[in-house]
């Protein structure tokens, strides 16, 4: 069964450094998402992406964040200058387009980001 | 602002019984309500979706109800098994937009 994959599984970085989190969505999916989950808290929406542009973003997704689909398979989240409070699990998700308008999203296993 | 409440942080039941989890929401009229399962350190796994014009949906041992008047969904797992132990997330969405998640209910099934 196809699944969303994410790399790395764990990223440790120093405050102020740039990180890029990578995702490979399910191959025939066209909607892509990033969510994050701070330890012990809710899963929170960051950004949605469709047709090579951001379709919606949350207040969390400020100028320090960016997303890109550099080729036909990868979807990346970049944090330009990490802060301690960026430490969280980051989940990539993707959605088919032939689900009759529903919003069933498939999530990857996550990247645990630790900012020191 | 939109708010989702899952009324139990944790639920502990005996194997074989039916687990019932509750999700209430305010300040939102979702087109879809979904339930996901999340195991520790893993991503959410989709279980069931119910539309605003549907009252009930079933899948194997799972059943979801959706009452848009009460702004409430109930999620049932019948004949529960220890393998059903996980955190269950209620989630709301409209069309292809973001999913808004509740904080989850941690379900433990004891043998």
Rounded CA-CA distance A99/B8 in Å is 31
Mean pLDDT of B14-38: 93
Segment B89-102 mean pLDDT: 86
pLDDT over threshold 80, residue A72:
no
- DSSP character at residue B18: P
- Partner residues linked to A13 by β-bridges: A115
Alpha-carbon distance values, B93 to B7, B30, B34, B68, B76 (Å): 20, 5, 8, 14, 21
Q: How far is CA A72 from the centre of its chain?
A: 16
Q: Nearest CA of chain A to the CA of B12: how many Å? A: 19
The tens digit of pLDDT for each residue in A73-114 reads 899 999 999 999 999 999 999 998 755 656 789 999 999 999
Q: How far is B106 from chain A (nearest CA, A)?
A: 12
Mean predicted confidence (pLDDT) in A51-76: 92
Predicted pLDDT of residue A99: 58
Torsions phi, psi for A16 (to 5 deg): 95, -15
CA distance A22 to chain B (A): 15
- Residue A18 DSSP class: -
Nearest Cβ partner for A108 among B36, B43, B46: B43
CB A102 within 8 A of CB A87: no
Q: What is the pLDDT of residue A98?
A: 59
pLDDT tens for A4-26 read: 999 999 999 999 999 999 999 99
Which residues in chain A are contacts of B96 at CB distance < 8 A? 31, 48, 50, 55, 95, 101, 103
- Compute the average pLDDT of residues B72-97: 92
Section A56-74 average pLDDT: 92
Cβ pair A79, A65 in contact under 8 A: yes
Residues from chain A contacting residue B97 (CB–CB below 8 Å): 48, 55-56, 103
Residues B2 and B10: their CA atoms lie apart, in Å, by: 23
Q: How far, in Å, CA of B56 to CA of B34, rounded? A: 12
Residue B17 has pLDDT above 70, yes or no: yes
What pLDDT is recorded for position A100?
A: 60
**pLDDT score of A102:** 64
């Amino acid at each position: 069964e196809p699944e969303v994959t994410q790399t790395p599984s764990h990223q440790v970085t120093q405050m102020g450094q740039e990180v890029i989190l990578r995702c490979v969505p399910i191959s025939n999916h066209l909607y892509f998402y990033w969510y994050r989950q701070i330890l012990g808290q809710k899963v929170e929406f960051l950004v949605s992406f469709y047709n090579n542009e951001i379709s919606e973003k949350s207040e969390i997704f400020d100028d320090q964040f960016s997303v890109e689909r550099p080729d036909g398979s990868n979807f990346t989240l970049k944090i330009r200058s990490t802060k301690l409070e960026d430490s969280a699990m980051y989940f990539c998700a993707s959605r088919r387009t032939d689900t009759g308008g529903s919003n069933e999203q498939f999530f990857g296993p996550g990247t645990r980001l630790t900012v020191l | 602002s939109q708010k989702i409440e899952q009324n139990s942080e944790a639920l502990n039941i005996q194997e074989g019984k039916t687990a019932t989890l509750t999700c209430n929401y305010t300040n939102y009229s979702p087109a879809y309500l979904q339930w996901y399962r999340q195991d520790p350190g893993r991503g959410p796994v989709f279980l069931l979706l119910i539309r605003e014009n549907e009252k009930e949906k079933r899948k194997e041992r799972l059943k979801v109800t959706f009452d848009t008047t009460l702004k409430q969904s109930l999620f049932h797992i019948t004949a529960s098994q220890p393998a059903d132990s996980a955190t269950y997330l209620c989630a709301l969405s409209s069309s292809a937009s973001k999913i808004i998640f509740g904080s989850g209910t941690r379900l433990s099934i004891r043998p």
